[in-house]
Amino acid sequence: MNSTNGYLPGYTSGEIYHYVTGDGWQYDDYGYKWVHYVDPNRYRSEAFGPHWVSLTIMYNVVRDRGIVW
């Protein structure tokens, strides 16, 4: 994550290399796509735990360096 690609919830600055576990996705009633993931970073309370983010945010964060399978 970085200032160019964006940040996941709980992160706001710097160049961050970090693993999270994606475990779901969904479409809402308006056609938006969402990704569910769990962040294991216990040192940042606003980052730790489960989160829903838009597919666009997740794509932007992982597109240069992320591994998705």
Model confidence over 2-56: pLDDT tens digits? 999 999 999 999 999 888 999 999 999 999 999 999 999 999 999 999 999 999 9
* pLDDT interval class at 60 (50, 70, 90): very high
State mean pLDDT over 56-63. 91
Which one, of 55, 60, 47, 1, lies nearest residue 25 by Cα? 55
Give residue 68's pLDDT: 66
**Residue 48 lies in domain:** 1-9+18-69
Q: Given the structure tokens 């970085």, which residue do they identify?
A: 2
How much is the pTM? 0.85
CA–CA dist 34, 2 (Å, integer)? 21
Number of helices (H) and strands (E) in the chain: give both, helices first: 1, 3
Tally of structural domains, the chain: 1
